[in-house]
Amino acid sequence: MRLTKPFLLLRLGSCRLESFSPVPAEKLPVPHILLTWNGLGGMLGAAFPMVVSTSSIVTSGPGASVSKPSSLRTGRVFDIKRFSTHDGPGIRSTAFLTGCPLRCAWCHNPEAFVLHGLDDGANVREFTADGLVRELERDLAYFDRSGGGVTLSGGEPLSQAAFVLEVLRKCRERELHAALDTCGLVDTGNLASAARLARLVLYDLKLMDPARHAEWTGADNRRILDNLRMLDESPAEVWIRLPLIPGANDDDRNLDAVMELLDGTRFRRISILPYHRIAAAKYQRLGLPNRMEGVEPPSPDRIEEIRARFAAAGFDPHIGR
Amino acid sequence: MTPRIQALRNATLEAVPRISIERARIVTATAKSPEYLRASVPMRRALVFRALMEEKSLYLGEGELIVGERGPAPAAVPTYPEVCVHTAEDFEVLDTREKIPYRVDAETRRLHLDDVRPFWSGQSQRERMFRELPPEWHDAYEAGVFTEFQEQRGPGHTVLGETIYQKGMLDLKLEIRDAIAALDFATDPRAYDRREQLRAMDLCADALIRHAQRHAEMLDQAAASEADAGRAAELRTMAAVCRKVPANAPETFHEALQYYWFVHIGVITELNPWDSFNPGRLDQHLWPFYQRELERGDLTEDGARELLQAFWVKFHNHPAPPKVGVTAQESGTYTDFALINLGGVKPDGSDAVNDLTFLILDVIEEMRLLQPSSMVQVSKKNPDRLLRRVGRIVKTGFGQPSIFNTDAVVQELIRQGKSLEDARRGGCSGCVEAGAFGREAYFLSGYFNLPKVLDLTLHNGLDTRTGKQLGPQTGDPRGFATFDDFFAAFECQLRYFVDIKIRGNNLIETMIAKYMPAPFLSLLIDDCIANGRDYHEGGARYNTTYIQGVGLGTVTDGFSAILHRIYQNQDCPWDEMLAALDADFAGHEALHHKLLEETPKYGNDDDRADALVPRLFEAFWSMIDGRPNARGGTHRVDMLPTTCHVYFGKVTGALPDGKRRGETVSEGISPVQGADRCGPTAVLNSAAKFDHIKTGGTLLNQKLTPQLLADDQGLDHFTHLVRGYFSKDAHHIQFNVVTRETLLAALAEPQKHRDLIVRVAGYSDYFVNLTPELQQEIIRRTEQEAF
């Protein structure tokens, strides 16, 4: 139920990425991000102050490992949603991983903004890859009957790339259908590896115009579009996800551009995720300014109209939640 | 829905439940007759039955297609003074109570007090039982450790098999004649008892034929004075049906339904068995008639639909016999638990779903009535479209049909010693209770309050509500060095009360067999005729006595709190816990919060709590399963509450899971209301962690938002959820599909929500008719949403 994906959070002022990341900085697509960040750092920096904390890690929950120094072999998860039915086929368990290179104004999981999670008492738990797969696998009986499986979402799961690749590898070994839900603003090599291991990639597209993309998400979309082309040339199964945000990306110009782009790819299945206001309380709790204050969710008529346009253009549109 | 059915449906919905004195007067007059006084006990019961069938007034509703009422009119409910003779206060309570009232007019009251009560006072089954039961039984019963089903009603779970669709009463009379002829007084010391029983059955068969004959005469008269030629012809057809059945085996769909209905009326007039009576596998029984007539062109789908709908109205015309006292609390509803079974497998194990299954599902959806209750058996052999059809009805939000796992039920029955074929012909009745339909007398004997036993263990056997030393002194908990020591004390208390219950059951069953045989019912259940024994005396092929465990979620969470807080984390010493329980957590808010919010709870697929479930279940089960009852059968365990968890909560003190004094305990095998927070799959996984196959039924409630079932994909998920749960050998699941907002609105403005139907336990009820506690509980049950 996230409308959006990601954002790798970059860095602000003197705070250095490697000082809090469980993933070594050299593994992150830092140069790219820094580049896009510089242009609009001011506004977003103010909107999303970085909070780094490890005090909220829960160590007593089922499946949680004892708190210990982060390593390549562990990842941080701020939520697990079981009986998740909109993150790929069938009944699924979705793990939401911390960390994101984007700062979408409408983000529904702002707690993902930092690798360590915000200090709001959120249940950030640290897992080994094995531990996470075991936890996600508890609903195997329902996956098996529904053609479901597990989905790695976030945040941007590939902001914990080494961990995510290991989890995907374990899913392969255990014949578990795994989907990767990505914002696309990730290292191309990591994405290519993940796409080979995952059975399905859920790929977010938001805005086609690079400047508007940067304005609304904190980063331009060049790498996202490059990565989409890379996936198009790979054999990966990809479902496109389009958050539909009134006033941000629901204009005809953007929707036409999305269709034009996708027309040039083999991707036909598209999930339209209409904006909703469930996250407003989170912003309040986290003390974050909410740029979407006062924005109304799109009307059912408008959603249907857009769905019909995609259908008429030869796509396979679905309305998500 | 045709105008006729619409009118019948409106009439039954508007009928006001009231007490009819007719039955009590006939029974009392018969019991004073010389013929009765010189007869054997079975013959006495048969004479009563004959008098009822011959004398009670008949009813013909406008436009009715199926005839026969228990009372003089729809919703007129008789009393059963030979079982339980009401006091003047009982009638006052029934007449004036806010929930589930039964109107009692002045004339009824006068006749009851002048004529009925003086004769039966001291002679009723209830009084006979209570005189004989030992003091420790009374103490435990009054304290609310367990309830007793047979104190106001006859033993229940009387589900019909195939017999009546193959044999008329005249055929059964021939079998009786042969059985009497085969009796040998030279070698059989029970020959006299058998002959009296068989003669009583024979008299009952004649009485039912006579009852149908009277209906035929009434219908002919009505036809003669009917102005509408179409209706007159219909009435003559109905009269012909009543002359054909129940004397002879039915040959048409209409005859089969009317035959069943006469039998139903017979059973619920003879006595007031729990779970009224039940046709069981209706789609299987009716299928040959339906198929044959449809092929011949004698019946259309619409014609069959209308007959079924008329049949549905007949069930709804019959509110449960009035209950008073504890029994009203454990089962406060007009619903009388006739549970129509659909789907499942045939005796050869193949898929039993047919076109009629779906037609009956249409009827259930369209009629939208509380009674009869309905369920669908789902085997791995049944197609998904069956479950999807069920999902489409469930999402309309009236709690029906409930869903059962045939493959588990068959295993349960086989484990209990039923033959493979008998198991496959079976199903579930009442709320969730497994049985070999047409062949088994399975009595529910009472609910068992597991949280109360934990309460008593915490207080060294003392009932803090009354200050009475109720159980054995198993020790002050502060003296238990380990969790296992505490658990052993709990087991000791549990065994003490289970033993009291089982001894009581065997005494009660013996007395029922001796004083209250049911010769009419015995006609219908294999192998009562062949054995020359009554249904109540072990005459059926299988004889089971169930004790129903209540509060599994509450007791599990209570033990989880003791394990984690006192013994593992050691952050709450016994002193603090006991002080908090004594104070009902007043002044111990921090501990209460920790117990509610930070202690592992059943229902979250969290093994730290869930590991206790099989341990608790096994302790309870091993003390009951396989122990002999008084009918040559055995005791078994069910896990279901009806509405008893509210009553049990009231009589149980504060518990370590955070339950406050008097708060409702968990129902069925569902988690404590609101304790499950990880979604439906986690609940199902938790609930499947003990072995349902060892039970005769478990009950799991799930509340879903309408959005979850909004579209085709939602139906897919619903189907897979149920299939996933059943793949773990789970027994049953039922759904409430209604939003919290709707329930709150109904609470605020009940008059605007009279038609809101919700799933309560093993049945549905009008939300506004529920007690305030039950209303709150249903609101608190966790609502699962899709994401």
A86/B787 CB distance under 8 A: yes
Distance CA B37, CA A136 (A): 72
Give the model's pLDDT for residue A70. Answer: 42
CA of A137, closest CA in chain B: separation in Å? 11
Give the model's pLDDT for residue A64. Answer: 41
B784/A81 CB distance under 8 A: no
Q: Which of A83, A146, A148 sits opposite B679 (nearest CB)?
A: A83
Active-site residue, B428 included: no
A61-75, A295-309, B264-278, B398-412: range with lowest mean pLDDT: A61-75
Q: What is the residue whose two structure tokens read 């908090």?
A: B580
Q: Which of B681, B714, B723 sits opposite A139 (nearest CB)?
A: B681
Selection from B743, B747, B640 nearest residue B701 by Cα: B640
B786/A85 CB distance under 8 A: yes
Please state, as a whole number, how many other Cβ atoms lie within 10 Å of the Cβ of residue B96: 10
Q: Which of A1, A62, A83 sits opposite B681 (nearest CB)?
A: A83
CA of A5, closest CA in chain B: separation in Å? 16
Give the model's pLDDT for residue A85. Answer: 86
Put simply, whether A269 touches B (Cβ < 8 Å) is no
Residues 42-101 on A with a CB inside 8 Å of B are: 62, 81-86, 90-91, 93-94
A86/B606 CB distance under 8 A: no
Element (H, E) at A150: strand A149-153
Give the model's pLDDT for residue B323. Answer: 81
**Residue ranges of domains in chain A:** 1-66, 74-319
CA of A167, closest CA in chain B: separation in Å? 22
Q: Which of B678, B681, B784 sits opposite A142 (nearest CB)?
A: B681
A86/B786 CB distance under 8 A: yes
Q: Which of A1, A85, A141 sits opposite B724 (nearest CB)?
A: A141
Report pTM. 0.89
Put simply, whether A39 touches B (Cβ < 8 Å) is no
Give the model's pLDDT for residue A72. Answer: 54
B682/A138 CB distance under 8 A: yes
B720/A142 CB distance under 8 A: yes
pLDDT along chain B (787 residues), means of 10: 96 96 98 98 98 98 97 97 94 90 96 97 96 98 96 89 98 98 97 98 98 98 97 98 98 98 98 92 98 97 98 97 77 88 98 98 96 97 96 89 98 98 97 96 96 98 97 98 98 98 98 97 97 98 98 98 98 98 98 96 97 98 98 97 90 98 94 87 96 97 80 90 97 89 87 75 77 82 55
For chain B, the straight-line distance linking the first and the last C-alpha, in angstroms and rounded, comes to 37
Distance CA A129, CA A152 (A): 12
Interface test with chain B among A96, A108, A145, A321, by most B beta carbons within 10 Å:
A145
Report CA Rg, chain B.
26
Residue B704 identity: L
Contact criterion met (CB below 8 Å) for B34 and B508: no
Give the model's pLDDT for residue B674. Answer: 80
Burial of B213 (0-12, 13-18, 19+ CB in 10 A): middle
Give the model's pLDDT for residue B759. Answer: 73
CA of B787, closest CA in chain A: separation in Å? 5
Helix (H, G, I), strand (E, B) or coil at B249: coil
pLDDT digits (tens, 9 = 90+) for A203-246: 999 999 999 999 999 999 999 999 999 999 999 999 999 999 99
Mean pLDDT of chain A: 79
A85/B787 CB distance under 8 A: yes
Q: Which of A62, A145, A321 sits opposite B607 (nearest CB)?
A: A62
CA atoms within 13 A on the CB side of B315: 27
Residue A5 pLDDT level (bands cut at 50, 70, 90) = very low
A146/B716 CB distance under 8 A: yes
Give the model's pLDDT for residue A44. Answer: 38
Please state, as a whole number, how many other Cβ atoms lie within 10 Å of the Cβ of residue A256: 13
Report CA Rg, chain A.
18
Across-strand partners of B440?
Answer: B542
Give the model's pLDDT for residue B98. Answer: 85
Question: What is B290-340 written as a DSSP string?
Answer: HHHHHHHTS--HHHHHHHHHHHHHHHHT-PPPP--HHHHHHT-SS----EE
CA of A37, closest CA in chain B: separation in Å? 32
B720/A62 CB distance under 8 A: no
Distance CA A125, CA A62 (A): 10
Q: Which of A84, A86, A142 sits opposite B721 (nearest CB)?
A: A142
Contact criterion met (CB below 8 Å) for A292 and A275: yes
Q: Which residues make Cβ contacts (< 8 Å) with residue B544, sequence separation at least 6?
A: B416, B435, B440, B441, B442, B443, B629, B633, B634, B635, B636, B696
CA of B737, closest CA in chain A: separation in Å? 17
Selection from A2, A8, A3, A1 nearest residue A191 by Cα: A8
Q: How many CB pairs under 8 A join A and B?
A: 70
CATH of region A74-319: 3.20.20.70
Distance CA A317, CA B7 (A): 46
Q: Considering the candidates B64, B196, B365, B433, report the single residue annotated as catalytic.
A: B433
Residue A205 token pair? 């597209």
Residues of B in contact with A125 (CB under 8 A): none
Q: Considering the candidates B428, B431, B572, B644, report the single residue annotated as catalytic.
A: B431
CA of B598, closest CA in chain A: separation in Å? 9
Interhelix angle B712-726/B384-394, nearest 10 degrees: 110
Long-range contacts of A291-294 (CB under 8 A, 24+ apart): A291/A47, A291/A105, A291/A106, A292/A105, A292/A106, A292/A245
Contact criterion met (CB below 8 Å) for B344 and B381: no
CA of A100, closest CA in chain B: separation in Å? 21
Residues of B in contact with A94 (CB under 8 A): 787
pLDDT digits (tens, 9 = 90+) for A118-138: 544 457 899 999 999 999 999
A58-67, A277-286, B40-49, B103-112: range with lowest mean pLDDT: A58-67
CA distances from B415 to B94, B518, B754 (A): 42, 28, 44
Between vectors from CA B114 to CA B104 and to CA B17, what angle results, nearest 5°? 15
The residues of B whose Cβ lies within 8 A of any Cβ of A are: 600, 604-608, 678-682, 685, 713-714, 716-717, 719-721, 723-725, 727-728, 784, 786-787
Helix (H, G, I), strand (E, B) or coil at A83: strand
A148/B725 CB distance under 8 A: no
Active-site residue, B678 included: no
Interface test with chain A among B716, B718, B722, by most A beta carbons within 10 Å:
B716
Residues of B in contact with A83 (CB under 8 A): 679-681, 717, 721, 784, 786-787
Helix (H, G, I), strand (E, B) or coil at B241: helix
Q: Which of B680, B724, B786 sits opposite A145 (nearest CB)?
A: B724
A145/B713 CB distance under 8 A: no
The dihedrals phi and psi of B163, each to the nearest 5 degrees, come to -45, -55
Determine the average pLDDT of the residues in A103-123: 69
B717/A84 CB distance under 8 A: no
Residues of B in contact with A321 (CB under 8 A): 786-787
